[in-house]
Structure 1
Amino acid sequence: MIERRPFNSLGGADHGWLKAKHHFSFASYDDAKRMGWGALRVWNDDSIAAQTGFPPHPHADMEIITYVREGAITHQDNLGNKGRTVAGNVQVMSAGSGIRHSEYNLEPETTRIFQIWIIPDERGGAPSWGTKPFPAGERSGRFVTLASGMQGDTDALPLRTNARVLGATLKAGETARYTLDKRRYAYLVPAKGSVEINGVRLDPRDGAAIREETTLEVKALEDAELVLVDASA
């Protein structure tokens, strides 16, 4: 089962400095049919104006993954962590028992991100943050694991949940495949470009909610950049 969720059907908000689209219920957008997808709770498509951002605010008991699509995001938190994550790379914040952080676009142009929240397997624990570069060439024509809490994913940023966040870049006409346990919940969004996933067309920034599939075959109809989450129930 693959349910296409067109970009123009998503909830959202326009705060001037922040233009946000929500694949799932978030803040003032409330849709009882879109409260999450397995352990995946939030997928926000955010455009953040230059020299603006999210001032310090708290989180707890959530795995928060930021995938930077364009520009860069600068993180700072009350643990003393500070870092800048650029387009194509990810950062992971495990909120644990509680963390206070800010996320700013200190660049001269708009930054665009996917912000993904996944429910952790256990509550509490010491909070943490990390970022890591992932060379674009490694993702050419195939899915590469960017963040994971699944066994064997030693090169990815760690997550405290039985989930995996993957990225891929495809040239027009290329195909990438991913093997999926049919009991799990997957969600795929093309950051750029149109694709077909098991024959279902997705245009840029559409979502695909996937269940009871064992193989995902993604064909690029044009040059494309993809983000995929493989999550537990």
Structure 2
Amino acid sequence: MIDHRPYAALGGHDLGWLNARLHVAIDGMGRPKHGAIGPLRAWNDDTFAPHTGFGMHGHRDVEIVTYVRQGAVTHEDSLGNRSTIAAGDVQAMRAGSGIRHSERNDGDVPLLLYQIWLRPRTPGGAPSWNTRHFPPAARAGALTVLASGNARDADALPIDADARLLGATLRAGDVIEHALPRGHGAYLVTTAGRVTVNGVTLAARDGAGIADEDVITIAALEDTEIVLAELLQN
């Protein structure tokens, strides 16, 4: 089953400096019919205007993965970390028992990112933060694991969730077949260009919830990037 969630149909809000579109409804925001999938609690498509952002604010008991699509986000947190994460970079933050952080666009161009919230396996614990660069060329034509709750994915950012986040850059005509682990669903989003997912056409920035499918066949109709979350179904 493919639950197509077109970008134009997503709920969200426009604060002027921040335009957010929500692939998953959370805390009364977004479309109620766009429910969570397994541990996936939120998937926000955010656009930050230049020289704007969130000041210090707190989180707990959530795994937050940020995928930067354009520009760069300046991250600071209560653990003393400070870094600029640019397009091609991914960051993973474990809120654990509590962490405060800020996210700003200090650049002169709009910042585009996906922010993905996942339910942790266990509440509490020590908070942490990490980032890693994943060059688009290294993801060309094949899915690469970016963040994972599976310790065997040694090259991925570690997260404490029953999920894996993968990404690929595709040229028009590329086809990927990806087998889902037993008992898992998925959520897939495109960044640009069009793809078909098991025969369903997704336009740029559309999403697709995937359930009860053993294999996902992704065919690029145009040059694109895709981000795919494997999610243990409850």
* Shift in Å, 1:85: 0.8
**Separation (CA, whole Å) in 1 of partners of 2:35 and 2:214:** 24
**Separation (CA, whole Å) in 1 of partners of 2:13 and 2:226:** 24
- Secondary structure of 2:124's aligned partner: coil
* Shift in Å, 1:192: 1.1
The answer to whether 1:103 aligns with 2:103 is yes
- Name the count of aligned residue pairs: 233
Aligned-residue identity in percent: 49
Which residue of structure 1 aligns with residue 82 of structure 2?
82
Alignment of 1:110-149 (within 5 A): 110-149=110-149
* Shift in Å, 1:24: 1.3
* Shift in Å, 1:88: 2.0
**Separation (CA, whole Å) in 1 of partners of 2:177 and 2:89:** 21
Provide Cα deviations, 1:69-109, integer angstroms capped at 9, x if missing partner.
11011100011011111112210000000000000011111
Alignment of 1:182-201 (within 5 A): 182-201=182-201
- The one-letter amino acid paired with 2:97 is S
**Separation (CA, whole Å) in 2 of partners of 1:132 and 1:12:** 29
**Separation (CA, whole Å) in 1 of partners of 2:228 and 2:222:** 18
Mapped contact 1:59–1:95 kept (Cα < 8 A): yes
* Shift in Å, 1:232: 1.2
Given the superposition, is the C-alpha separation of residues 30 and 222 from structure 1 closer, same or farther in structure 2, using an over 3 Å criterion? closer
**Separation (CA, whole Å) in 2 of partners of 1:142 and 1:11:** 31
Mapped contact 1:25–1:42 kept (Cα < 8 A): yes
- Secondary structure of 1:154's aligned partner: coil
- Secondary structure of 1:8's aligned partner: helix
The answer to whether 1:18 aligns with 2:18 is yes
Tell me the TM-score normalised to structure 2 length: 0.97
Tell me the TM-score normalised to structure 1 length: 0.97
Which residue of structure 2 aligns with residue 224 of structure 1?
224
* Shift in Å, 1:32: 3.6
**Separation (CA, whole Å) in 2 of partners of 1:154 and 1:209:** 27
* Shift in Å, 1:208: 0.4
Which residue of structure 2 aligns with residue 160 of structure 1?
160
**Separation (CA, whole Å) in 1 of partners of 2:27 and 2:44:** 11
Which residue of structure 2 aligns with residue 70 of structure 1?
70
- The one-letter amino acid paired with 1:10 is L
Mapped contact 1:148–1:164 kept (Cα < 8 A): yes
Which residue of structure 1 aligns with residue 33 of structure 2?
33
- The one-letter amino acid paired with 1:167 is G
**After the TM superposition, which parts of structure 1 deviate over 4 Å for at least 4 consecutive aligned residues?**
none
* Shift in Å, 1:30: 4.9
**Separation (CA, whole Å) in 1 of partners of 2:30 and 2:203:** 24
